[in-house]
Amino acid sequence: MKTRILKVDPRRPEPEPIRAAAEVLRGGGLVAFPTETVYGLGANALDPEAVAAIFRAKGRPADNPLIVHVADRQWVQELVKVLPDQAQVLIDRFWPGPLTVALPKQPHIPDIVTGGLSTVGVRMPAHPVALALIKAAGVPIAAPSANLSGRPSPTTAEDVWEDLNGRVDLILDGGETGVGLESTFLDLSTDPPVLCRPGGINPSDICSVIGPIQIDPSVYANLEEHEMPRSPGQKYTHYAPKAEVLVVEGALETVHAKINSLAYEYMQEGRRVGVLATAESRGVYQVPVVLEIGSRKNLPMIASALFSTLRAFDRHGVEVVLAESLPEEGIGLAVMNRLRKAAGGRVIRV
Ligand code: TXA
Ligand code: MG
């Protein structure tokens, strides 16, 4: 398949590329498009054949459900069985924006979308291109992140191209996404609601609107083989560059020293080592490739740079990435969740 790329103005999307992309979606094709979190790989959510093509293009396990994207709050009524007050309040407050809510699904949503689950995750993205595209398509759009399964999510059209060239019909290039990490995923089908994946909206902001929520254990740790996270996606190694990733956790100076000594050991073995550093620490490492993701004082900035930096290690031919752990406050919870998954649970405490 030949993959087309169309440039589009991220603030004021031109009608022409949007029309062309909407036509592809209506015809059952696949379109990668920017959202405020990461690029998504969209298909008509009501067309099981089109949705099946998403799974093939990404190499995604069939039991990993997709989020359905809408362009208008009203569309939710047609996707979920009931809209509880809690959901309505969250939607009013945080949409459009990086919050996905899961609720019992209407029967006409194909099973392939939800991986056989009885709930569906719905979100209204806060990106002019995504909104214009979904509106023009006129149907809800199922869209996972537009990466090959297991890889870091794409934050630019180039990242999408790197993974999916030849596998999708069209990429809408709207430049860099903003948040850089995926939406917060909240399952509202149970009481109390469960945070399945931290993301662009902070849990504390959700709690201030609907009260206490539960946090799925998979948010903090990689689960054992037999354990079942609420979000099927959380059980897979994910967000990973080709290099092996190792996270070092502890007091900062001890972390610096440990990373240097680990790096020395790996280099002795002849392996090419990289360090994921912060602005505060980039000078302390004696390692060939040191990539900085921003200041510890600016976690949103770090969030927006995380996936692209993980991809950059691959371009530097790095085989082992040693990463400093980061504070788990605010969006830092999401950053550390992604970093731990990228490391497949390899976290060293010092
Ligand atoms: O920001 C985002 O959410 C991006 C953009 C493109 O919107 N999308 C995204 O989709 O991150 P994806 O497929 O890469 O991640 C969706 C996650 C997966 O871990 C999946 O298992 C989980 O959400 N999920 C989807 N539907 C679910 C459901 N009904 N119940 C529990 N988890 C669900
Ligand atoms: Mg994904």
- Ligand 1 pocket by Cβ (under 6 Å): 35, 37-38, 40, 64-67, 98, 100, 102, 114, 117, 119-121, 125, 143-145, 182-183, 185, 187, 196-197, 230-234
pLDDT of residue 241: 84
- What distance in angstroms lies between residue 100's CA and the mean position of ligand 1's atoms? 8
Atom 32, ligand 1: which residue's CA is nearest? 231
pLDDT of residue 236: 66
Mean pLDDT by 10 residues, the chain (350 residues): 97 98 98 98 98 98 97 97 97 98 98 97 98 98 98 98 98 98 98 97 97 94 70 76 94 97 97 97 94 97 98 96 96 96 93
Contacts 24+ apart (CB under 8 A), 250-259: 250/325, 250/349, 250/350, 251/350, 252/280, 252/281, 252/324, 254/350, 255/324, 255/325, 255/350, 256/281, 256/284, 256/285, 256/324, 258/348, 258/350, 259/285, 259/322, 259/324
Note whether 323 and 343 are within 8 A (CB).
yes
